[in-house]
Chain A
Amino acid sequence: MGKNFKSLVIGFVLLSLMLFPFFGERFYIQFASKILVMIIFVSSLNLLVGFTGLVSLGHAAFFGFAGYVLAILMQVDSSTHFVTALLISISCVGLLGLVFGVLVLRTKGIFFIMSTLALGEMLFYFLHDTDFAGGSDGIYIYSRPNLSIFDFWDVDLANAVHFYYVALVFVCLTLIFIGRIIQSPFGRVISGIRVNEHRTKALGYNTYKFKLVCFVIASMIAAVSGFLAAVQFGVVNPEMVGWHVSGHALMMVILGGKGAILGPVLGTTTLMITEEIFQMLTKHWQLLTGLVIVLVALFFPNGLAGIRIFKKGGSM
């Protein structure tokens, strides 16, 4: 696939996504928005799992916590601007990511996985058992943050079409941002850590610091998706930080192909559409979904992004 052809395909896909709300029904627009928000979350997990080799089962903590920050913020001041709320959410989650990272990155392998799982579950039960976080019911977000752009365009985030475009912009920004990270000298170091941490240390890199920075960046990207999910659904609850949300995202990373920027896009879209179709067909839809994942793992060990047609795109 030549560079021009690749640009043409990307342009066509983007154009199709931009035109989609003009033809799609409300349900499908909302569903597509859900996929877009999830792509951001899965991309953030891919930065850890696929590019740095850190398998986390507690990543949903950042996704859910961002939603909670927004919900509490809107309770305090319902007129908060979207950008302000987003920056506060990202900052709070970044801080949480730093605390979690400092603790869990001292462990390796299975212990790292278990530590992330434990911290995620601690946050789950903290939110579940405290009154200010609304207990198991969570918190309703009655008014969405205000998103007016230069006072001449008011974006209504409760409007499915408006939200869809906002989510689309954030997906594009996320993918570009992660692409930039991966191609930077920082990206080369984290790639080195994934392949051989000792060797990277022997080249003079403090791998702990690099992993910590990566962990915090991934948590902040996850915050963007959690923030958008809370805006979309208008409610946050402890389920958002549960380990099964992390596990679900991990399946999407593996299905799409870890360590590929396009992987989360393919994995998330495929899994969410497949699940939706199977849910319409049978009540045993999880069985069929599991089968699809097993088949992909068997026949495409590098995930969907590893299939020749996607792989030939080069760095994608």
Chain B
Amino acid sequence: MPVSDSLLTISGLNVHYGLSHVLHELSLDIKCGETVALMGRNGMGKTTLLKTLVGLLPSTSGLIKHLGQDTRGLPTHTLARRGIAYVPEGRGIFKNLSVKENLLLAARPGVRGQKDWSFGRVLDSFPRLNERLNHGGQQLSGGEQQMLSIGRALLTNPDLLILDEATEGLAPLIAQDIWRIIDVIRQSGISSVLVDKNFKALAKLSDRSVVMVKGKIVFDGSPNHLIENPLNLTKWLGV
């Protein structure tokens, strides 16, 4: 995808859990239409970073700018309305609502005209959801729940989609389907930040790889450069 202006700029970000310093002077720039793979072993601060970006965690210091505007201190719902969609680890669908109700809850018109994700477009991209439209959220398989979670996020018509462990706990075939959908999203021009344990799939789909170790960014560059150095892969990611 062609990559242009900055969509999200993070500079000198520090986050603490009580006395524990979790993110250290973190800086990162995500451009419009860019797909960034955020990698790192468990406990390195990936989810903390994502939660801070969507306002679920407060930062101690540093700047976060979305389309040039400072977003620090803004509540989660305002950030969501500004175009940052977050699909958390564990999906978080509303199990008491049907598939249709889950999707309608999120639906919000975008500003891109024909490129908007409409209810129909989401169902076309997720035929499985179309088949189970009136089923309760609790009746869906893990893969279907993930599709619903992503579909719901797309219906908010975001300009940045954050996916945390999208294929975690899914059978390989179902996971493949999720990767296919992520590729469709990528082609549609939405910027995304992907966190996943499947290093190969991430490398294939992303424009850039970012590796975190102990709350710091130790690598920020092309996925190919990362692959070319197996020693670093082992050291940073354990693969």
Contacts and interface: CB of A to CB of B under 8 A. Distances in A.
Interface in A204-237: 204-207
B138 to A, nearest CB: 10
A185 B80 CA distance: 18
Interface stretch (B100-108, B176-184, B192-200, B226-234): B100-108
B190 to A, nearest CB: 16
B92 A204 contact: no
A274 B222 CA distance: 72
A191 B80 contact: no
B75 A206 contact: yes
Contact of B94 (A192, A206, A207): A192
Nearest to A192: B94
B56 A189 contact: no
Contacts of B78: 206
A119 to B, nearest CB: 25
A203 B80 contact: yes
Interface stretch (A77-85, A98-106, A158-166, A193-201): A193-201
A192 B77 CA distance: 14
Contact of A201 (B77, B97, B101, B105): B77
Given A203-B80, A203-B156, A204-B81, A194 B106 contact: no
Contacts of A207: 77
B97 A202 contact: no
A188 interface: yes
Interface in B102-147: 104-106, 108
Interface residues on A, range: 10 to 19
B96 A199 contact: no
A196 B156 CA distance: 17
A68 B56 CA distance: 43
B94 A195 contact: yes
A205 B77 contact: yes
A195 B77 contact: no
Contacts of B152: 203
Interface of B: 54, 56, 75-78, 80-81, 85-86, 88, 92, 94-97, 101, 104-106, 108, 152, 156
19 contacts: A188-B104, A191-B97, A195-B97, A196-B94, A198-B76, A199-B88, A199-B94, A201-B56, A201-B75, A201-B76, A201-B80, A202-B54, A202-B56, A202-B77, A202-B80, A202-B88, A203-B105, A203-B156, A206-B77
Given A192-B105, A206-B78, 20 more contacts: A188-B97, A188-B101, A191-B97, A192-B94, A195-B96, A195-B97, A196-B92, A196-B94, A200-B105, A201-B76, A202-B85, A202-B86, A203-B80, A203-B105, A203-B106, A203-B156, A205-B77, A205-B80, A207-B77, A259-B96
